[in-house]
A and B are shown apart, each in its own frame.
Chain A
Amino acid sequence: DGGITQSPKYLFRKEGQNVTLSCEQNLNHDAMYWYRQDPGQGLRLIYYSQIVNDFQKGDIAEGYSVSREKKESFPLTVTSAQKNPTAFYLCASTPLGGRGAQPQHFGDGTRLSIL
């Protein structure tokens, strides 16, 4: 079945450490997105990519970095510059073009905590 796979499900970060969250999709979708979810809040956009080797900052990009070397993959690195990384991270994808309300499809998320 097609879908989005996020790994790991749980991740712990030590002070000063960079960690990378994986997101892979086999839906042949063009666009991919990373969202952060804090308790009691909605999802906020970190980064997004519409095409391979291109990506744009979202609303809360500071302390994060991404790459898009393959259409299927959009990993997110949480750097040591992100001082409050504890959150639930969701990856999403959607096809581009065409008319109509194309929804975003979401992975199951990664919970990141500070050690």
Chain B
Amino acid sequence: AQTVTQSQPEMSVQEAETVTLSCTYDTSESDYYLFWYKQPPSRQMILVIRQEAYKQQNATENRFSVNFQKAAKSFSLKISDSQLGDAAMYFCAYRSGQGAQKLVFGQGTRLTINP
């Protein structure tokens, strides 16, 4: 079974600075997808960014980018120019390329933005 590990329960960053959240996963599959979701205090789950394993190019969405290292099974999220609205729980998630598209989530990282 696949597992996802987020080794940083909490992180903090100064407003306007850059922060990187770590995620590692374990799988024997070659076809899969990876996601970062954000959960603010409202508890909505909001998609931040997605990555297809077959793509070597790292995904980017405005201030959010990933460092996808397939061989190392690492999928870190970089947030540039941090804003107060970025404060939330961040979850890394894995989805197999086959089957029912179930998501396997990490334990989450709570990100605090210091003004």
Interface residues of A (CB under 8 A from B): 31, 33, 35, 40-45, 48, 50, 56, 58, 88, 90, 92, 94, 96, 100-104, 106, 108-109
Mind listing 12 A-B residue pairs with CB under 8 Å? A33-B102, A35-B105, A40-B9, A40-B108, A42-B4, A42-B91, A43-B105, A58-B102, A101-B34, A108-B42, A108-B44, A109-B44
Question: How far apart are A46's CB and chain B's nearest CB, in angstroms?
Answer: 11
Q: Mark the stretch among B12-20, B45-53, B70-78, B79-87 that contacts chain A.
A: B45-53
Closest 5 CB pairs of A and B: A42-B105, A106-B45, A101-B50, A101-B33, A43-B105
How does the 8 Å CB contact mask read for B13-55 relative to A, with 1 for contact and 0 for none?
A: 0000000000000000000011100000011110100111000
A43: which B residues are within 8 A, CB to CB?
Answer: 45, 91, 103, 105
B108: which A residues are within 8 A, CB to CB?
Answer: 40-42
Residues of B in contact, count (CB < 8 Å)? 25
Most B-side CB within 10 Å, residue of A45, A101, A103, A104: A101
A108: which B residues are within 8 A, CB to CB?
Answer: 42-44
Bound complex: CA of A90 vs CA of B42, how far in Å?
Answer: 13
- B52 touching A104, Cβ below 8 Å: no
A104-B103 contact, Cβ under 8 Å, with A42-B91, A88-B43, A109-B43: yes
B9: which A residues are within 8 A, CB to CB?
Answer: 40
Of the candidates B4, B6, B47, B107, which one forms a contact with A103 in the assembled complex, judged by CB atoms under 8 Å apart? B47
Question: How far apart are A5's CB and chain B's nearest CB, in angstroms?
Answer: 13
Of the candidates B45, B52, B105, which one forms a contact with A100 in the assembled complex, judged by CB atoms under 8 Å apart? B52
- Which chain B residue has the least Cβ–Cβ distance from A44? B105
B52: which A residues are within 8 A, CB to CB?
Answer: 100-101
- B102 touching A106, Cβ below 8 Å: no
- B44 touching A48, Cβ below 8 Å: no
Bound complex: CA of A31 vs CA of B42, how far in Å?
Answer: 25
Bound complex: CA of A1 vs CA of B26, how far in Å?
Answer: 37
